[in-house]
Amino acid sequence: MFASHLECPKCLTKYDTEQPHQLCSCGSPLLVKYDLAAVAARMSKSDVAARPPDLWRYRELLPVIAEENIVSLGEGMTPLLKLERLGTRIGMSHLYLKDEGIIPSGSFKARGAAVGVSRAKELGVTTLAMPTNGNAGGAWALYCAKAGIAAVIVMPKDAPAIPRSECAIAGARLFLVDGLISDAGKIVGQAIGERGWYDASTLKEPYRIEGKKTMGLELAEQFGWEMPDVVLYPTGGGVGLIGIYKALCELREMGWVSGELPRLVAVQATGCAPIVRAWQQRAAESEFWENAHTCAFGITVPKAIGDFLVLDAVYKTDGCAVAVTDEATLAAESLLATTEGTFVCPEGAACMAATQKLLADGWLGPDERVVVLNTGCGIKYPETVTSDPRLLQPSDRLPD
Amino acid sequence: MFASHLECPKCLTKYDTEQPHQLCSCGSPLLVKYDLAAVAARMSKSDVAARPPDLWRYRELLPVIAEENIVSLGEGMTPLLKLERLGTRIGMSHLYLKDEGIIPSGSFKARGAAVGVSRAKELGVTTLAMPTNGNAGGAWALYCAKAGIAAVIVMPKDAPAIPRSECAIAGARLFLVDGLISDAGKIVGQAIGERGWYDASTLKEPYRIEGKKTMGLELAEQFGWEMPDVVLYPTGGGVGLIGIYKALCELREMGWVSGELPRLVAVQATGCAPIVRAWQQRAAESEFWENAHTCAFGITVPKAIGDFLVLDAVYKTDGCAVAVTDEATLAAESLLATTEGTFVCPEGAACMAATQKLLADGWLGPDERVVVLNTGCGIKYPETVTSDPRLLQPSDRLPD
């Protein structure tokens, strides 16, 4: 393993990787640091190309030590689709969709779960707990089942229903809360303090982000070890955006990519846009968003613990933060399906809506290489689609 | 392109590949034939290994001529997972799951749709119609949207609900019928006769099977160009089983694999088991199954048009046909999730139940390399899981 230590991005305190750690004593999330010179000396691009198409192809840049601790369901190397028809329709010549719906559990949360659960297993964790807006809970419940780790999951009662089925069939202990993910987080936090469980909440353990960062590694590889110009990411907790930024910085330090990083765009909903408000104020952190509500439930996060890392990545890459209405999101979901045949989740559709908005504003150029990150499959959100087909009898003819 | 012609497996009549063809004049499905010597001379295993991880890596063995006609959403190279924990639990040392849930639209129907729609586009089709038990309709609707082909879909009213959302968001014309897929097929058949649409019903066009056969190509590649001992396949229309058999025969003729083909097992439900009944009688064809019903809705096919090809593949490989109860299927779905973290569809779970049954019967040996084919993701079937989580208030503590 090439991970050397954990480091606090706020106060720079270092921690070892042998013991389970959660937050830094200063309250900040911890990040995994690697001996990148050693990785660059050991791993080549052709090594990577010859490996199976899952995220473990980047194992030297991942924190798991022993192969027997890897808990994998085949996650990663999701398709990067060029949107020719949609691009032509809206006037963009190099528009891409990274489709994270094509992954175990149907959402990008599988990446964080695969690496997070593998490390938890390696560290000897027997019970973990987490609040979730749904998909992370479903993914962690399933990976924990495979790892033999007990999982306690708390999600808002208004979260989409299908992740409940994932938790149930995986045998996790599932609770609903009449509130938001922040309320679920308080309940989990109290239980963890009392019972000594491992806290798998967003960024409260340092390994989930290592799984998410593989989206950045894959984007670089899929673009032939070049970088696109812009990546739009639906931002709730923001781990994926922080992860993509971390991945590209690591690749640049290794000499595998060069030049400017892509401008990273944090996409939120107008009904829950704390990062956008902070970015507009050029603030370093966000404020709690009251009465949060959007159809893109996964990004209903009123205050993200890693908000300062998200904003830092956006500032450092000359990116931006943009909020879209639910109406625009649902229109973009339909547009993607009818022109490109992809049924994306509302969070991914929000990124498509943001692309159209930023193109109209002139912030995006028509010939830039732009990646819309779709974080999950639309089949987990059937309620976003209206279908009222006509019922025929067997003796009927098909209507005109 | 290396496809030389279409051929009727019953009366051996040949047809060209330039025009759209449906069934043979004798009523049998047509199969695509290739110049396999030319393919073997042109394509190498290392060529394939260096290509992107989707089913188009086998393009010399696929019928699409021009690259611009390829309609792809990134389908194929689904994970082959070794089931260590579950294998240990039931006493099998080499048990594998081929997980077709990790694919666009969440079901293996995406393979047939990708190749079938690509060829339909190449042949100039503008409208196609099909009956479906759900997943094929969802997949074809989405791929047709990308291809710019109008799709007319008819499915039983009792089919799972999520594919309706796929059809609706893709902009397909969707109808329900108060009956089974056989009733949907009659309505579609009549409309096609009157309106001149392309008939995309199972095996009524010769290209869907070419997409499905890539499961067999992938299995061979993922086993290092060796063959497993047994493949269990949930059999409704049976296109995948026929396709896997066709793929392995083609690879053997090319000299890429050698030895015995795997024993192919047609898995059905006790509530709809026409192939099993025929196999028990050593019959060449099946009889219509009255009052068909099973929780594995995708295999509720009372009489498959390709039944004789399914049975032929089973007989030629010394395979078998086996029916399992819905109770065993749902128990296997749970067992897979709790031990291996995979949330499979009921059809895939039926194959797992059949594996347990054939192991108990001694038909499967404990050390054989056995592949359970899971045809779709469980998240399309949330109704198969009971979840009744406790609701907490934000001020509550987590119960013990």
Domain annotation covers residue B145: no
Closest to A171 (Cβ–Cβ): which among B179, B338, B379? B338
Q: What burial letters (b/e) apply to B44-53, b meaning 16+ CB within 10 Å?
A: eeeebeeebb
Residues paired with B81 in a beta bridge: B97
Q: Inspect the interface and report whether the beta carbons of B85 and A378 lie closer than 8 Å.
A: no
What percentage of chain A exceeds 70 in pLDDT? 100
ipTM: 0.96
Give the separation between CA A75 and CA B355, rounded to whole angstroms.
Answer: 25
CATH number at residue A333: 3.40.50.1100
Q: For chains A and B, what is the number of CB pairs under 8 angstroms?
A: 246
pLDDT tens digit string along B149-186? 999 999 999 999 999 999 999 999 999 999 999 999 99
Tell me whether residues B177 and A390 touch, CB distance under 8 A. Answer: no
Choose, out of B85, B352, B398, the residue to mutate when testing the contact with A (most A CBs < 10 Å). B398
Q: CB-based contact (8 Å) between A187 and chain B?
A: yes
In the stretch 140-169 of chain A, residues with CB closer than 8 A to chain B read 142-148, 152, 154, 157, 161-162, 164-169
Tell which A residues from 309 to 348 touch B, by Cβ distance under 8 Å: 333-334, 337-343
pLDDT mean for each 10 residues of chain A (400 residues): 96 96 97 98 96 97 97 98 98 98 98 98 98 97 98 96 97 97 96 95 97 98 98 97 98 96 98 98 98 94 96 98 98 98 98 98 98 98 93 94
Is B65 within a domain?
Answer: no
User: Which structure tokens are listed for A42?
Assistant: 């050991």
Whether B334 and A169 lie within 8 Å, measured CB to CB: yes
Interface list for A 89-148 with B (CB within 8 A): 99, 101-106, 142-148
Helix (H) / strand (E) element for B269: namely strand B263-269
Give how far Cα B170 sits from Cα of A330, B147, B375, Å: 13, 11, 22
Distances (CA, A) of A92 to A227, A254, A355, A375, B393: 18, 32, 10, 21, 47
> Nearest Cα to A97, choosing from A382, A319, A369?
A369
How many beta carbons lie within 10 A of that of residue A5, not counting itself? Answer: 15
Residues in A closer than 8 angstroms to B145, CB to CB, are 337-341
Residues 6+ positions from B320 with CB-CB distance below 8 Å: B263, B265, B266, B279, B314, B358, B363
Q: Are the beta carbons of B219 and B233 closer than 8 angstroms?
A: no
Q: What is the DSSP letter of B106?
A: G
Query: Does residue A309 lie in a domain region?
Result: yes
Mutate to test the interface with A, among B77, B102, B194 (most CBs of A within 10 A): B102
Q: What is the DSSP letter of B198?
A: E
- Residue A400 has a pLDDT of 84
Block residue for tokens 């303090």: A193
Mean pLDDT of chain B: 97
pLDDT digits (tens, 9 = 90+) for B4-30: 999 999 999 999 999 999 999 999 999
Distance CA A101, CA A314 (A): 25
A162–B79 C-beta distance less than 8 A = no
In a domain, A352, yes or no: yes
For residue B117, the 8-state DSSP code is H
Which candidate from A54, A143, A168 shows the least CB-CB separation from B341? Answer: A143
pTM greater than 0.90: yes
Map chain A to HEC letters.
CCEEEEECCCCCCEECCCCCCCCCCCCCCCEEEECHHHHHHHCCHHHHHCCCCCHHHHHHHCCCCCHHHCCCCCCCCCCEEECHHHHHHHCCCCEEEEECCCCHHHECHHHHHHHHHHHHHHCCCCEEEEECCCHHHHHHHHHHHHHCCEEEEEEECCCCCHHHHHHHHHCCEEEEECCCHHHHHHHHHHHHHHHCCEECCCCCCCCHHHHHCHHHHHHHHHCCCCCCCEEEEECCCCHHHHHHHHHHHHHHHHCCCCCCCCEEEEEEECCECHHHHHHHCCCCCCCCCCCCCCCCHHHCCCCCCCHHHHHHHHHHCCCEEEEECHHHHHHHHHHHHHHHCCCECHHHHHHHHHHHHHHHHCCCCCCCCEEEEECEEHHHCHHHCCCCCEEECCCCCCCC
Kindly report, residue by residue over A332-354, the tens digit of the pLDDT: 999 999 999 999 999 999 999 99
Contacts of A179 in chain B (CB under 8 A): 393-394
- Asked if residue B69 is part of any domain, the answer here is no
Provide the percentage of residues in chain B whose pLDDT is more than 70. 100
Per-residue pLDDT of B233-248, as tens digits, reads 999 999 999 999 999 9
Is A273 within a domain?
Answer: yes
Least Cα separation, residue A295 to chain B (angstroms): 16
Which of B56, B127, B343, B345 should be substituted to probe chain A, the one whose Cβ sees the most A Cβ atoms within 10 Å?
B343
Q: What is the mean pLDDT of residues B62-81?
A: 98
B145–A340 C-beta distance less than 8 A: yes
Print the domain residue range for A92.
80-106+210-384
- Which pLDDT score is estimated for A330? 97
Q: Is residue A138 part of a domain?
A: no
Question: pLDDT value at position A178?
Answer: 97
* pLDDT average, residue stretch B306-326: 98
Cβ neighbours of A188 in B, within 8 Å:
398
Contact B312, B28 (CB under 8 A): no
* Per-residue pLDDT, A172: 98
Residue B189 is assigned to a structural domain of this protein: no
- The domain total for chain B is 1
